[in-house]
Amino acid sequence: MPMEQRRSGILLHISSLPSEFGIGDLGPDAYWFADFLVSARQSLWQILPLNPTDSAYQHSPYSSFSAFAGNPWLISPELLFEDGLLIKEDFQPNPEFPSSRVDYDEVVVYKGKFLDKAYERFRQNKRLRKEFRIFQRNHEHWLGDYALFVAIKESLGGVIWTDWPEELQARDREALHDFAVAFADQIERARFLQFIFFRQWERLRVYCRQRGIHLIGDMPIYVNWDSADAWANADNFKIDEHHHPVGVAGVPPDYFSETGQRWGNPVYDWTKLRASGYAWWLARIRHNLDLYDLLRIDHFRGFVQYWEIPVHEPLASSGKWVEVPTRDFLDTLKRTFNPLPVIAEDLGIITGDVREIMKEYGLPGMKVLLFAFSEDLKKHPYLPHNFEPHCVVYTGTHDNNTVRGWFENEAGPKEKENLFSYIGHEVDVKEIHWAFIELAMMSKADTAIVPMQDVLGLGQEARFNKPATTRGNWQWRMSSNAIDHDVVHRLRELTHTSARG
């Protein structure tokens, strides 16, 4: 899709959709939301990573056991029913799930029962076997290792793979064969859940495409060490002789965190990746572009320089910048994917070399309006009059407070004064979100994205994530009656006025 076209859309993760099953999923409410986008003249739907989440990592979509697999908790029981894999008797009265957040512990237990029943029926009726075989053949480059990883991990109580028996850590062929024979059913179940997930996702994607909605995915630059990717491709990372990383990723202090962030992900061995022709990266990006129309790459600056922290150092400030073979890597991507439909997440400490690379390869960056009013109103790069058209403007991101939450709880007198001066008048707190949406929509930026919480004018109780914290994140959900006629009308009219419809 052309990157220079004026357009707008909404940021809403699948888990935040309404649903009677405790978490948003790929079922009827996802189609309802797509219909809302059409009625409001939006052409983009941005989501967060779709990879599996787990309680060990607070169900963050940025901390997954796989960079390729889909999240089984997002599978729709209603679509399983339509496929004959569930029956009416399987739908017992639901627990009293919270309406405004996800209780992951309850969801995992409750939806796990649906998934077990669906797999048992699949085993018995064989109706989808041919389609299942085709899926496995098309995805075997990651699916086999993922299913084996999940089965081994479950059999050992969920421990990280570097605590597995040595022969399984080292992927001894005979040991893996023996395990696969003994746990064949658990391995097939893991494969089946991936088949169902991608089947439901593709159905939703076709529905969106037919209605002129393009999907923006999100790809974390790093993977978890506790992942099938690290276990099956350990040579892609800087590791020691005991299969442990020698350095981990993070960022130095910036406006997201005064102490920096120690993410703990293993850092890549770019020398070995280059020697392989970046085969793993090519497979990963190809896989993502099969799922989405555009791909936002989180922490893009890590392709130019990355912050490497010695694994035994507890503070991010102990790290250092390390160079990457940037042009060789991006040239390889462009030869394979041309044009390269990528949005570069360029927040945080961005140096001139990163900006030069983005300009050279035609990659749009991000402008976040919530950051724009703390400094000089003439020079700040996130103020709309300083935009170049080839960028993506956001009122805020999943890592920020909502606009209203920022205004009520974070913005100081100077920021409010700057804001009112910039737009030419004071704004009541009940209308502050529309002031930001209008700034984004009317700007020169080719693309404008608004988090759904800002469309609804919600306060900080609806914040999705607070970086450098581990509790209370990734839980917000939208209620089924949140969108009224006024929201649709105002968004549609503003989209038309700003020539983004």
Number of DSSP helices (H) and strands (E) in the chain, helices first: 17, 12
Tell me which of 54, 308, 345, 346 is the catalytic residue: 345
Q: Which of 35-49, 57-71, 84-98, 276-290 has the lowest mean pLDDT?
A: 84-98
Q: CB neighbours of 175 closer than 8 A, spacing ≥ 6? A: 165, 167, 168
389 to each of 262, 345, 366, 393, how far by Cα in Å?
A: 34, 16, 11, 10
pLDDT value of residue 3:
66
Q: For 466-495, how does the pLDDT look when each residue is reduced to its tens digit (9 = 90+)?
A: 987 889 999 999 999 999 999 999 999 999
323 pLDDT band, cuts 50/70/90, is very high
Averaged pLDDT, 166-175: 96
Enter the tokens of residue 53: 């989440």
pLDDT value of residue 267:
97
pLDDT value of residue 348:
81
C-alpha closest to that of 36 among 20, 12, 19, 15: 12
Q: Which amino acid type is present at position 484?
A: D
Tell me which of 29, 54, 399, 446 is the catalytic residue: 399
Q: For 50-96, how does the pLDDT look when each residue is reduced to its tens digit (9 = 90+)?
A: 999 999 999 999 999 999 999 999 999 999 999 999 999 999 887 88
Q: 140 an active-site residue?
A: no
**Proportion of the chain above pLDDT 90, given as a percent:** 90
Q: 258 an active-site residue?
A: no
Phi, psi dihedral angles at 294 (to 5 degrees): -135, 155
Enter the tokens of residue 337: 């994917």
* Average of per-residue pLDDT values in the chain: 95
- Rounded to whole angstroms, the Cα distance separating 164 from 170 reads 9
Q: For 211-248, how does the pLDDT look when each residue is reduced to its tens digit (9 = 90+)?
A: 999 999 999 999 999 999 999 999 999 999 888 999 99
pLDDT value of residue 256:
64
Instruction: Check pLDDT > 80 for residue 17.
Output: yes
**Residue 410 half-sphere exposure, CB side, CA atoms within 13 Å?**
16
Which H/E stretch holds residue 336? helix 326-336
Residue 44, beta-bridge partner list: 9, 214
- Rounded to whole angstroms, the Cα distance separating 194 from 119 reads 11
Q: For 245-265, how does the pLDDT look when each residue is reduced to its tens digit (9 = 90+)?
A: 999 999 988 766 778 889 999
pLDDT value of residue 98:
92
Is the whole-model pTM more than 0.95? yes
Q: For 365-387, how does the pLDDT look when each residue is reduced to its tens digit (9 = 90+)?
A: 999 999 999 988 888 999 999 99
Q: Is the Cβ–Cβ distance between 289 and 343 less than 8 Å?
A: no
Distance of CA 405 to the CA centre of its chain: 22
**Proportion of the chain above pLDDT 70, given as a percent:** 99
Tell me which of 298, 346, 446, 454 is the catalytic residue: 298
Q: Which amino acid type is present at position 189?
A: R
Q: For 332-347, how does the pLDDT look when each residue is reduced to its tens digit (9 = 90+)?
A: 999 999 899 999 999 9
- Helix ranges restricted to H, 126-159: 129-155
- Rounded to whole angstroms, the Cα distance separating 111 from 80 reads 12
Q: For 424-477, how does the pLDDT look when each residue is reduced to its tens digit (9 = 90+)?
A: 999 999 999 999 999 999 999 999 999 999 999 999 999 999 987 889 999 999
Upstream peptide bond of 266 is cis (omega within 30 degrees of 0): no
Q: Which amino acid type is present at position 387?
A: F
Q: 399 an active-site residue?
A: yes
pLDDT value of residue 310:
95
Q: What is the SS3 assignment for 262?
A: strand
- Rounded to whole angstroms, the Cα distance separating 498 from 501 reads 8
Report domain extents, the chain.
233-276+294-362
